A and B are shown apart, each in its own frame.
Chain A
Amino acid sequence: MRTEAVLTIARREYLERVTSKGFWIATVLMPLFMAALVFLPSLLLLKTRTTHQMAVVDETGVLGPALVAALAPKSPEPERGEGLARLGREQAEKQMARFEVDLVPPGEPEAQRAALDARVLAGEIASWVRLGPEVLTGGRAEYRAASVSNILTQERLGEALTRVVSRVRLEQAGLDAGQVEDLTRATRLETVRVSATGGRAEGGMTGFFLAYFLVFLLYMVALLYGQQVLNGVLEEKTTRVVEVLLATVRPFELMLGKLAGIGLAGLTQLAIWLATAVVLTAPGVVGALAWLPEGQLPQVEVGLVVHFLLHFLLGYFFYATLYAAIGAASNNMQEAQQFVGFVTVFLVAPLLLMMPVINDPDSVLAVGLSLIPPFTPLLMMLRIAVKMPPLWQVALGYLLCTGFILLLVELCGRIYRVGVLMHGKKPTFAELWRWLRYA
């Protein structure tokens, strides 16, 4: 391989992109677009926060007032949860419907049911609940509403009812209210990750978040830059520059140079965005950290960050190479678009495999999957975040994935070289296979 040829090609691709107007327009517009995407929904949610008006027919005489009290808005328990989780919960509670409960004395069942259903249909109340005496002995409470798809609201109502019913049952069994309060307090897990450097309190979700962040990042980047790689590869076919290039460099060198150049241009843009995001959110983050209790600062090891970056790069170049392969096999954009959905398969498949890996990161399944090159960037990263795998596995993952990408580049180059000289006709898979072995 002639490194200087690869560098010359990479340099050209990089400069052509970074010096284009479109690049800088996108670089400026994207953060604005993202900001709008983040802030608009919460602004809208603030405005659309609803009140759930409901009627409760209490035939037990004890459950009704207790339920009203349980559903009344209250300040969150200050000690519950930590950092992000608490912020998230508060945000969710803020966005949930507020209950407005109207206690209705029981009447003649049939007539009352008809009357309340009529009120529901007229839109005066959203729902009504009948609490019959059987509720206290394990029976069901009847929930009637025009719409029964508001799962969050129903879940909250169900939870409140369960709490109230069990408290009443306990009181009826002879315990006093204070005791009941103590006895029914919920238990929460304190998660501690054990690592070689000693155990320490840590959110068990860190690995999960990191992996999801990586998926999100890769997905975004694949969508954003895959198209550019595709365009770049198709460009030489359409402008017919390729013949001169193929006479001086090997297809592999050409492909590698293009991928590196376009890839680095994408990373430059991403770095600018990230830097902007860090600068803009820094005051907020510092503020949030100040609120966290001592010792609960989210800790991220340097090693983890390095692995994250390396896996990101691997994933990035893997998807870019897939797009390049599509470009190499197509004659024009329309043809290429038909294959683009295919790339998503490689993003979604590891996503579906995440749960088994998280649950048992050392299982044969998890180790095997994380060593399969297309899955390595996501799944090996996930394993590293959840529980550091043996070093040889991590190293093997890097090695296999890098080798796989280089192999793809080589195949890509071959398809490109032959495909470029056969304009006009869409290749069949049989032809693609012949092209791979040819040349």
Chain B
Amino acid sequence: MELPPTLELDTVRKTFGDFVAVDAVSFAVPQGSLFGLLGPNGAGKTTVIRMIMDILAPDEGEVRLRGRPRTRDDLRRIGYLPEERGLYRRMTVTDQLVFLGELHGVPRGEATKRAAQWLERLGLGAWAKAKVEALSKGMQQKIQIAGTLLHEPDLLILDEPFSGLDPINQGVLKEALAELRERGTTILFSTHIMEHAEKLCDRICLISGGRVVLAGELAALKRERGGNVYRVWIDGPEATLEGLPGVAQVVPKGDGEARLLLAPEADPGEVLAAVVGRTRVREYRSEEPDLETLFIQAVRDAN
């Protein structure tokens, strides 16, 4: 028998005054998956996450955990990293972590032990007794992530976890997420940077303008949509490719390289013939689309 999804949103809607921030959003996060909630700035990602965490109440629809409506007690067992992060500035690093652990129901002794372990792991052992305000932004961010994980949640909700981290620490975080997934933690994170999701996620939900424009297993989505994307290398500027018949969109990549999103009914051979009619073609081949391409395609189709 199949397990109910760890997290499920069922036609959730949220308006602020006349503004519809989130409209009929549904998706399911199966147990053990690493799920990307994607979309441009202002798409409604944070609103969706806040409704998952019961910080905002949806106007319509329901949030379910393991097949049941989510309760206040469930929330404590989730690890939540909000987009707007903050720590108590005058508190010491250890006290801060222990406090967050206790709020999530970890006894003080155990929380103290785990806090020390985490600080060692993050290379911040020397800062255990320092006040948070003495730490750099990046260090504070690490502390905050440690605080999110201290109570060993089996569901993680991370809102833009990579923002504010340098490339090295972004790498560290990616590894950490992959490792947590290995151990069976279900993870949902939001980002507007597609490359982050591309390498990590097994499932995605793309939202734009408060609506789901694409959702599902990443590999399957790429397979389904693959026939429509071609990569072309030409002599001369990519601008030569503008306005080709049968091409919905040109994504220039520089040095004469471009990605062509074909219109749904277009024939790839005719498109090639049209390109050849304009300039010399060095290479032309079908391609599995990257997430960015899928996103652009989906947004275009939705409109």
Kindly state whether residue A241 has any CB partner on chain B within 8 Å.
yes
Between B54, B91, B99, B103, the greatest number of chain A beta carbons within 10 A of the residue's beta carbon is seen for: B103
Kindly state whether residue A38 has any CB partner on chain B within 8 Å.
no
**How many whole Å from B94's CB to the nearest CB in chain A?**
13
B55 near A247: Cβ-Cβ < 8 Å: yes
Q: Which of A239, A244, A250, A439 contacts B82 (CB 8 A)?
A: A244
Chain A contacts of B87 at CB under 8 A? 239, 241
Q: Mark B17-57, 1 if CB is under 8 A from A, else 0.
A: 00000000000000000000000000000000010011111
Chain B contacts of A421 at CB under 8 A? 50, 55-56
By DSSP majority rule, is chain A's interface helix, strand, loop, or mixed? helix
B84 near A248: Cβ-Cβ < 8 Å: no
Kindly state whether residue A349 has any CB partner on chain B within 8 Å.
no
Kindly state whether residue B66 has any CB partner on chain A within 8 Å.
no
B103 near A240: Cβ-Cβ < 8 Å: no
B53 near A247: Cβ-Cβ < 8 Å: yes
Q: Which of A239, A242, A438 contacts B89 (CB 8 A)?
A: A239
A243 near B57: Cβ-Cβ < 8 Å: no
Kindly state whether residue B78 has any CB partner on chain A within 8 Å.
yes
**How many whole Å from A241's CB to the nearest CB in chain B?**
4
Q: Mark B86-97, 1 if CB is under 8 A from A, else 0.
A: 111111000100
A247 near B90: Cβ-Cβ < 8 Å: no
Residue of A nearest to B86 (CB): A240
A16 and B55 in contact, given A5-B103, A240-B85, A247-B75 (Cβ under 8 angstroms)? no
**How many whole Å from A425's CB to the nearest CB in chain B?**
12
Distance in angstroms between the alpha carbons of A9 and B75 in the assembled complex: 17
Q: Which of B54, B55, B56, B84 contacts A240 (CB 8 A)?
A: B84
Kindly state whether residue B104 has any CB partner on chain A within 8 Å.
yes
A16 near B80: Cβ-Cβ < 8 Å: no
Residue of A nearest to B87 (CB): A241
Q: How large is the interface on A (under 10, 10 to 19, 20 to 34, 35 or more residues)?
A: 20 to 34
**How many whole Å from B13's CB to the nearest CB in chain A?**
15
The residues in A between 250 and 266 inclusive whose CB is less than 8 angstroms from any CB of B are 250
Kindly state whether residue B287 has any CB partner on chain A within 8 Å.
no
**How many whole Å from A19's CB to the nearest CB in chain B?**
9
Residue of B nearest to A422 (CB): B16
**How many whole Å from B62's CB to the nearest CB in chain A?**
17
Distance in angstroms between the alpha carbons of A240 and B55 in the assembled complex: 14
Kindly state whether residue B72 has any CB partner on chain A within 8 Å.
yes
A249 near B103: Cβ-Cβ < 8 Å: yes
**How many whole Å from A12's CB to the nearest CB in chain B?**
5
A239 and B86 in contact, given A244-B147, A248-B103 (Cβ under 8 angstroms)? yes
B91 near A16: Cβ-Cβ < 8 Å: yes
A245 near B88: Cβ-Cβ < 8 Å: no
Chain A contacts of B72 at CB under 8 A? 250
The residues in B between 56 and 92 inclusive whose CB is less than 8 angstroms from any CB of A are 56-57, 72, 75-76, 78, 80, 82, 84-91
B76 near A248: Cβ-Cβ < 8 Å: yes
A16 and B82 in contact, given A247-B55, A247-B75 (Cβ under 8 angstroms)? no
**How many whole Å from B66's CB to the nearest CB in chain A?**
18
Residue of A nearest to B52 (CB): A247
- Which residues of B line the A interface, CB within 8 A? 50, 53-57, 72, 75-76, 78, 80, 82, 84-91, 95, 99-100, 102-105, 147-148
Q: Can you show 14 pairs from A to B with CB atoms below 8 A apart?
A: A12-B88, A15-B95, A239-B88, A241-B86, A242-B86, A243-B84, A243-B86, A244-B148, A246-B55, A247-B53, A247-B78, A248-B104, A421-B55, A439-B57
The 10 A-B pairs at the shortest CB distance, nearest first, are namely: A240-B86, A243-B82, A239-B86, A241-B86, A240-B84, A247-B53, A247-B80, A8-B102, A248-B103, A246-B55
